[in-house]
């Protein structure tokens, strides 16, 4: 067994925790005949978004285990999770994802914006991937 890669383990734990933090916020507003209304979801956690958050959580846990055991292919868990987070950030998974998206029709407006949990998830996944590349070369 190789020595545990503690940087990758910590990054995987942070990625797993960030799935429960707010990933996106959806808001809308409208004005009609002098009356106005607005709505904001606050933050929607990654786990509440469905498949992407659950997939990210499972990969982060697997990456942490693999980094602790010093397994050669650990960097793949971080790389796939980074693509998962990037996909939500850029809107690859539809309008429910975290892309900065806004639309308006007359006086009605809607927007979906990424939140800090998604940024933490993406950053920690990149750190997991980069810090475990050295094990692949061994």
Return the domain boundaries, the chain.
Answer: 6-24+40-101+108-137
| Mean pLDDT within 72-79 | 90
| Mean pLDDT within 89-98 | 62
| Mean pLDDT within 73-90 | 88
- pLDDT surpassing 90 at residue 94: no
Separation CA 134–CA 82 (nearest Å): 18
> Which residues have a Cβ under 8 Å from the Cβ of 137 and sit 6 or more positions away?
none
Q: What is the pLDDT of residue 120?
A: 93
Q: Pairing between strand 108-114 and 22-32?
A: antiparallel
pTM of the model: 0.78
Q: Which residue has the higher pLDDT, 28 or 64?
A: 64
Nearest to 88 by CA among 50, 52, 62: 52
Chain centroid to CA 92 = 12
């Amino acid at each position: 067994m190789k020595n545990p890669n503690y940087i990758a383990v910590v990054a995987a734990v942070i990625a797993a925790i960030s799935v429960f933090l707010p990933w996106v916020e959806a808001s809308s507003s409208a004005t009609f005949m002098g009356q106005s209304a607005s709505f904001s979801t606050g933050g929607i956690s990654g786990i509440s978004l469905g498949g992407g958050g659950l997939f990210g959580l499972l990969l982060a846990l697997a990456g942490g285990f693999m980094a602790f055991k010093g397994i050669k292919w650990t960097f793949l868990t971080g790389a796939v999770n980074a693509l998962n987070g990037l996909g939500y950030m850029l809107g690859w998974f539809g309008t429910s994802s975290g892309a900065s998206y806004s639309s308006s029709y007359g006086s009605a407006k809607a927007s979906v914006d990424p939140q800090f949990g998604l940024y933490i998830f993406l950053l920690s996944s990149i750190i997991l991937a980069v810090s475990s590349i050295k094990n692949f070369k061994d």
